[in-house]
Amino acid sequence: MTETATKKVTDSAQLVSTAPATGEEIWRGDVSDVDAAVSRARRAWPAWAARPIANRVEMVRRFANEVRSEAENLTDLIAKEAGKPVWEAKTEVDAVINKVEISINAYTERTGKKKLDSAMNGIAAVRHKPHGVMAVLGPYNFPAHLPNGHIIPALIAGNAIVFKPSEKTPAVGEALVECFEKAKFPEGIVQLVIGGPDEGKALVAHHGVDGVLFTGSAQAGIAINRKLAANPGKIVALEMGGNNPIVVTKTPKVKDAAVLIVQSAFTTAGQRCTAARRLIVVEEMYDALMAELIPLTRKLIVGDPFDEPQPFMGPVIDVKTAELLEESFLALVKEGGKPLAPLRIIKEGLPFVTPGIIDTTAIEDRPDMELFGPVLQVIKVPDLDAAITEANNTRFGLSASLIGGSPEDYSRFWGNIRAGIINWNRPTNGASSAAPFGGIGLSGNHRPAAYYAADYCAYPVASTELEQPRANIGVGLKD
């Protein structure tokens, strides 16, 4: 298979990155020595942890300033290596910068010091300590923002970082780490590991790693969880995907509903863990909604990230992924699905695909899986209660949205849907970093990220304290 088809290949001891939109090589680098990276981080960690919190906060703010000064270059690199339109790559860079102040506030609120005066028993205190060396395993869909969402809270808390970006977006990972270096972080505190699955597995299992912070597929997350099941001393935060439902009930705003569905299902070419995978529609809304949704979907521009006018969608990450999506769409058709907007590869040898919509109402056993791309399954149901039941018909539980309905309908929806993110008349994606981000089931292990990342980056320590020893035994002593 060619480099274009695989997107990223290992050439002996090197990793090669190609641009999904063109297939050209844009980066090449040596595969890292995991042991050496972890050792450097372990040596550097004690001094970093001993720094005052004010100093660590100052350092991450300096990092934000470096990203700000490199914003244009970083935007272009994300667009080129991840295949995102420039407009979207820019929003990712903005999110990297904004994450710093959000994480500072979260650290203060979630893990700040607390002291209670216990009179004669002294002072009862709660403080937090860093875990040590944290391995951060990043994804390709948000190659800067999502790993940064682990790295910044972990650094503020006093941890050292060993960061392995996705083998599909190593150049962005390297650029992110260079911003920490330009901000004059102590040597060894943020380590970059270049490599593929083998290096990721080595990091997870390494005895010198105190925590694993992962964003990626459920399959990989389960493998990490299984590997570390016998090691409860290592903190593990798994941020995985979803088979997310967007439910449409009675509403006069049909055009707006169609826009919200398109934003949910096809932004980032459907390569978001919070993307809508299933559109569940009550019968009375079906015909009117399809009459708006299908033409709107066909109008979406799929193109090169740097095209003018800007496309709505760029390519998916590589040709292998595009081929898998096309095969999956055809498999749903063979099982009885009715294609409403077929997913097709539109450029030979390159991973540009049209957004696909397929009615799978007639498929009795719909596969409960995350098709990580622009594929939306439509399911027709009689009423809202049936829609809620169908929405919960999944092992995942990340994001869900209700479009239309009354406040009472939303209350019923919110109360019964099993998900970590539940929205009303808003897309399934675009969650705020100032709120917790996570799910249940195969979507995570109850360690939500974003604002709550502070919780897994430090552990609480309870203390009772007196300035001088004072004690007596009141009963049970011989005269």
Cα separation, 294 vs 341, whole angstroms: 7
CA atoms within 13 A on the CB side of 389: 8
Residue 362 reports pLDDT greater than 80 = yes
At residue 1 the predicted structure's pLDDT band, cuts being 50, 70 and 90, is: very low
Which sequence positions are flagged as catalytic? 239, 273
Pair 118, 124: CB distance under 8 Å: yes
Query: 212 Cβ partners below 8 Å, 6+ apart?
Result: 134, 135, 137, 203, 204, 224, 228, 234, 235, 236, 237
Element (H, E) at 400: strand 399-403
Pair 378, 361: CB distance under 8 Å: yes
Pair 293, 305: CB distance under 8 Å: no
Element (H, E) at 402: strand 399-403
Name the 3-class secondary structure at 449. Answer: strand
Cα separation, 412 vs 416, whole angstroms: 6
What does the mean pLDDT of the chain come to? 95
* Arithmetic mean of pLDDT, 116-136: 88
The topology (CATH level 3) of 244-424 is Aldehyde Dehydrogenase; Chain A, domain 2 (3.40.309)
What is the model's pLDDT at position 326?
Answer: 98
Vertex 96: Cα angle to 94 and 28 (nearest 5): 110
Among 75, 7, 82, 8, which residue's Cα sits nearest to residue 268?
A: 82
Cα separation, 190 vs 170, whole angstroms: 15
Give the tens place of pLDDT for each residue, 44-87: 999 999 999 999 999 999 999 999 999 999 999 999 999 999 99
β 356-359/276-282 pair status:
unpaired
At residue 9 the predicted structure's pLDDT band, cuts being 50, 70 and 90, is: low
Cα separation, 209 vs 201, whole angstroms: 12
Pair 28, 57: CB distance under 8 Å: no
* Arithmetic mean of pLDDT, 209-220: 97
Give the tens place of pLDDT for each residue, 315-354: 999 999 999 999 999 999 999 999 999 999 999 999 999 9
What is the model's pLDDT at position 208?
Answer: 98
Element (H, E) at 288: helix 283-299
What is the model's pLDDT at position 3?
Answer: 32
What is the model's pLDDT at position 10?
Answer: 53
Among 53, 91, 55, 84, which residue's Cα sits nearest to residue 169?
A: 84
Cα separation, 188 vs 38, whole angstroms: 9
With 0-12 CB in 10 A as exposed, 13-18 as middle and 19+ as buried, what is 121?
A: exposed
At residue 12 the predicted structure's pLDDT band, cuts being 50, 70 and 90, is: low
Q: Do domains 3-240+444-464 and 244-424 have the same CATH topology?
A: no
Pair 354, 379: CB distance under 8 Å: no
What is the model's pLDDT at position 5?
Answer: 35
Phi, psi of 238 (to 5 degrees): -110, 115
Residue 6 reports pLDDT greater than 50 = no
What is the model's pLDDT at position 11?
Answer: 54
Each domain of the chain, given as residue ranges in start order, spans 3-240+444-464, 244-424
Beta bridge partners of 16: 9, 28
> Positive or negative, the Cα torsion across 335, 392, 387, 382?
positive
What is the model's pLDDT at position 116?
Answer: 80
What is the model's pLDDT at position 121?
Answer: 74
The DSSP secondary-structure symbol of 32 reads: P
* Arithmetic mean of pLDDT, 89-95: 98
Among 224, 269, 173, which residue's Cα sits nearest to residue 442?
A: 224
Cα separation, 235 vs 77, whole angstroms: 32
Burial 398-434 (b: 16+ CB within 10 A, else e): bbbbbbbbeeebbebbeeebbbbbbbeebbbbebebe
* Arithmetic mean of pLDDT, 397-419: 98
The topology (CATH level 3) of 3-240+444-464 is Aldehyde Dehydrogenase; Chain A, domain 1 (3.40.605)
Among 173, 144, 158, which residue's Cα sits nearest to residue 8?
A: 173
pTM of the predicted model as reported, rounded to 2 decimal places:
0.95
What is the percentage of the chain residues whose pLDDT exceeds 90? Answer: 92
What is the model's pLDDT at position 186?
Answer: 97
What is the model's pLDDT at position 2?
Answer: 28
What is the model's pLDDT at position 119?
Answer: 64
At residue 467 the predicted structure's pLDDT band, cuts being 50, 70 and 90, is: confident
> Positive or negative, the Cα torsion across 278, 281, 285, 287?
positive
Name the 3-class secondary structure at 412. Answer: helix
Among 371, 321, 369, which residue's Cα sits nearest to residue 345?
A: 321
Among 153, 211, 144, 215, which residue's Cα sits nearest to residue 179?
A: 144
Long-range CB pairs of 28-33 (<8 Å, 24+ gap) are 29/170, 29/174, 29/194, 30/194, 31/194, 31/195, 31/196, 31/199, 32/192, 32/193, 32/194, 32/195, 32/199
